[in-house]
């Protein structure tokens, strides 16, 4: 157990954690404000990855290609999310929560096959942007610069998002909607527009996360199902609806995965679900969540 091994695992865990935070933050916020647990969030992530690959394939390779592709992917998924929310989801708000959950699951099925139909079943990958193609030495281990970028992007979004939530008027509306949406509507805020906006932002984050992961992991069918379970675990640990909870939940989960594989390679798959079960048994609302009324 050398320093460099620990450092390597820690940094790898940190990268995983920041990706998970990017993905899970949208999921958590949508649940906190709209009380909808969006199974299709993983599908949005997958569509973002495929869109990024598609844009990169269409454009001439160049210094800015990757970044354009990432933003385009985020925007594309945001548009998809907006359409889904406005046309379909909003008709289910008054209905049983179960129906909303099943609706998002129907989206998972549909988007999964749509992606398979459009892009086939081959593994696709995207090259790292030339700006971040190098690597650094840190405590005896090599860290790709791209991973470092992700490790910095996570906290940046966390701090930025936290500031928006606490300091801006839009953020205040969002927090109010999470607390008591009926009252907020009675006070005159356009709760419908708020919901659409929230869903669009959440989809953007998912799509962006999908785009950003393409240089590290290949794009395959089934990545939607894989990531959504991880995202669930993160939001459970951190607390459904809590932004900072998702951040720390992602940190805990990322490092558990990273060091858990070292310690118990046989049981890593088992241990993450055991962790989720333990949190739900002992403290269902996670680290920072509020007990559901």
Least distance in angstroms from the C-beta of 185 to another protein:
22
CB-CB contact of 240 with 285 (8 Å): yes
Least distance in angstroms from the C-beta of 35 to another protein:
8
- How many Å separate Cα 40 from the centre of its chain? 11
Least distance in angstroms from the C-beta of 50 to another protein:
16
DSSP 187: T
Least distance in angstroms from the C-beta of 184 to another protein:
21
Q: Which is nearer to another protein, 103 or 247 (CB)?
A: 103
Q: Which is nearer to another protein, 58 or 264 (CB)?
A: 264
CA-based angle 166:171:175, to the nearest 5? 85
Least distance in angstroms from the C-beta of 110 to another protein:
4
Secondary structure of residue 60 in the 3-state scheme: coil
- Name which of 106, 127, 118, 150 is nearest 47 in CA terms: 118
Q: Which is nearer to another protein, 156 or 280 (CB)?
A: 280
Q: Which is nearer to another protein, 128 or 283 (CB)?
A: 283
Chain contacts with another protein (rule: CB under 8 A): 31, 37, 88, 91-92, 95, 97-99, 101-103, 105-110, 112-114, 116-117, 225, 229, 232, 236, 240, 266-267, 269-270, 273-274, 276-277, 280-281, 284-285, 292
Supply 179's token pair.
């607390």
Q: Which is nearer to another protein, 15 or 246 (CB)?
A: 246
- How many Å separate Cα 137 from the centre of its chain? 29
Alpha-carbon span 212 to 16, nearest angstrom: 12
């Amino acid at each position: 157990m050398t320093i460099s091994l620990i450092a390597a695992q820690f940094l790898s865990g940190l990268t995983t954690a920041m990706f998970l935070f990017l993905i899970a933050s949208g999921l958590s916020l949508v649940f906190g404000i709209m009380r909808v647990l969006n199974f299709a969030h993983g599908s949005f992530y997958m569509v973002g990855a495929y869109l990024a690959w598609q844009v990169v394939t269409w454009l001439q390779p160049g210094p800015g290609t990757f970044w354009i592709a990432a933003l385009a992917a985020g925007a594309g998924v945001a548009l998809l999310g907006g359409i889904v929310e406005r046309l379909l989801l909003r008709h289910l708000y008054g209905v049983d929560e179960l129906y909303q959950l099943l609706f998002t699951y129907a989206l998972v099925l549909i988007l999964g096959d749509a992606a398979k139909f459009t892009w086939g079943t081959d593994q696709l990958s995207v090259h790292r942007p030339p700006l971040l193609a190098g690597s650094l030495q840190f405590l005896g281990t090599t860290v790709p610069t791209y991973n470092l970028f992700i490790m910095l992007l996570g906290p940046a979004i966390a701090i930025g998002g936290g500031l928006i939530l606490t300091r801006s008027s839009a953020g205040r509306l969002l927090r109010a909607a999470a607390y008591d949406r009926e009252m907020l509507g009675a006070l005159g805020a356009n709760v419908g527009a708020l919901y659409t906006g929230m869903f669009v932002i959440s989809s953007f984050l998912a799509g962006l996360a999908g785009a950003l992961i393409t240089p590290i992991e290949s794009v395959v069918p089934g990545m939607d199902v894989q990531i959504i379970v991880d995202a669930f675990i993160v939001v459970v640990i951190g607390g459904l609806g809590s932004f900072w909870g998702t951040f720390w939940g992602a940190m805990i989960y990322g490092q558990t995965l990273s060091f858990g594989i070292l310690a118990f390679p046989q049981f890593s798959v088992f241990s993450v679900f055991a962790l989720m079960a333990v949190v739900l048994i002992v403290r269902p609302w996670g680290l920072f969540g509020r007990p559901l009324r």
